[in-house]
Structure 1
Amino acid sequence: MSAAANADPHKLRHGEVPISERGPAPKRIVVSYGFWIFLLSDFIMFSGFFAAYAVLVGETAGGPGGRQLFELPLVAAETALLLMSSFACGMAGIAAAARNTFWFQVAMAVTALLGAGFLTIELYEFVHLIGEGAGPGRSAFLSSFFALVGCHGLHVTLGLLWLSTMMAQVWAKGFRDDIIRRITCFALFWHALDIIWVALFTVVYLLGAGASV
């Protein structure tokens, strides 16, 4: 048995340097912790939008409600595109872990195409609603709807820009440790958008289309 084991037979680690004296945490830990705080703050922000929508959903000012406006087949196609993009993003993460540049770029490109398809359908929905006189100024219900769904769409747009940056960085610099950290953070962000959209699809579209307003 080694001297270290004899000194600490129960592995209580009494001989180690105290945590307070070990210096700053590794960058990997700091980045992960900071990004989780960002995601939690984003969830809190969306909670506020959901709460506002829940309060204002019946305030149609005599105008159309969700039952008259929402086209569930269209929204179902949006949902399918975003869910498939999340799967492709997961494949990109696996390729990054394997340091496979080709399949990483392919998976990220598929993620981008599916995300762009999602945004195209959402933009069509917004233009269609505004063209029918159901813009955000029509009622409090529509104001809260456009704010909630539009905020999610803005996040997807920013995610696509981030995705493009990751593809360019891997192409130019390879899978450096800092780039792997950024890829991991992006994947967390993209999957979080999926979770928010599932909640949004359920609360806004499914319940809204079934409402009797």
Structure 2
Amino acid sequence: MKDRGRLLMFFLIGSEAFFFIALIIAYVYYRNFTGATDMVAHFLNVKRATILTAGLVLSSFTLIMSKRNLLKGRWKMAKLYMGGTIILAAVFLGGQMMEYIELYHKQVTISKNVFGSSFFTLTGFHGLHVIMGLIAISLLFGFSFGKFKVLTVAGIASVEAYWHFVDIIWLCVYTYVYITPLL
């Protein structure tokens, strides 16, 4: 079966989607029923999160462009766009780490209260998915140099689907964690 890998990726994405839905519901519940809405406005850096969100959304575009160029045999452009995706993902992770460090200095930790536990669980689990996507894209990038080019072409559709899933999940997380408490 030619599309077995892609089908398996969609099964993985479906199961992960249910897990993220549960984490988002738990986060919203704890934020709304523990008085943590004020903590969001006071402790979280919405401006940075907005910039990082824009970068993560842009990384989906660069991966789309990489795939288009790959399928047309334009390897230099495909590598350039894929490298851009890797850089944008790394910047996102760096920004998330900066936020974690700032929250730690403000005494907001995973063990301090329910808000901290649900925030770090939700955003940390998403960060783990960004890391896994970054590894997959980096592997494809490495394969694109040399005799493993066929692996790059075969794997790009599955990796692209996973990366778009990671971006869509972040848009949901960003909306519920950073935006709705300010409304």
| TM-score bracket, shorter-length normalisation | over 0.9
Quote how far apart the aligned CAs of 1:69 are. 1.2
Larger radius of gyration: 1
Identity %: 25
TM-score by length of 1: 0.80
Using structure 2 for the length normalisation, give the TM-score.
Answer: 0.93
Structure 1 letter corresponding to 2:75: T
* Partner deviation per Cα, 1:6-53 (whole Å, 9 max, x = no partner): xxxxxxxxxxxxxxxxxxxx2x22222111111101101111111211
Residues 136 and 146 of structure 1 are in contact (CA less than 8 Å); yes or no, is this contact kept in structure 2? Answer: yes
Does the 8 Å CA contact 2:30/2:36 hold for their aligned counterparts?
no
SS of the residue aligned with 1:172? coil
Q: 1: distance between equivalents of 2:136 and 2:144? A: 12
Mapped to 2, the partners of 1:62 and 1:40 lie a distance apart of 30
Provide, for residues 94-151 of structure 1, a one-character-per-residue CA deviation record: whole Å limited to 9, x for no partner: 0111122111111111111111111111110010001110111111111001100111
Is structure 2 residue 28 aligned with structure 1 residue 54? yes
Q: Letter of the aligned partner of 1:192 in structure 2?
A: F
CA offsets, 1:168-210, max 9 Å, x none? 112122542x532311111111111111111111111101234
Corresponding residue for residue 152 of structure 2 = 179
Distance 1:48 1:184 in 2: 27
Indicate the residue corresponding to 1:119 in structure 2.
93
After superposition, the Cα gap between the structure-2 partners of 1:62 and 1:187, relative to the gap in structure 1 and judged at 3 Å, is closer
How many equivalent residue pairs?
Answer: 183
RMSD: 1.8
Q: Distance in 2 between matches of 1:143 and 1:208?
A: 17
Cα gap change, 1:181 to 1:163, in 2 (>3 Å) = same
SS at the partner of 2:66? helix
Please give the alpha-carbon distance, in whole angstroms, between the structure 2 residues aligned to 1:61 and 1:54. 11
- 2:124 aligned with 1:150, yes or no? yes
8 Å contact from structure 1 (residues 68, 209) kept in 2: no
Secondary structure of the residue that 1:47 maps to in structure 2? helix
Q: Give 1:164's match in structure 2, choosing from 138, 152, 155.
A: 138
Residue equivalent to 2:176 = 203
Per the TM alignment, residue 61 of structure 1 is displaced from its structure 2 partner at its CA by 7.8
The equivalent of 2:72 in structure 1 is: 98
Q: Map of 1:21-100 to 2, 5 A cutoff?
A: 26=1, 28-58=2-32, 60=34, 65-100=39-74
In structure 1, stretches of 5+ residues that fail to align are: 1-25
Which of the pair is proportionally richer in helix? 2
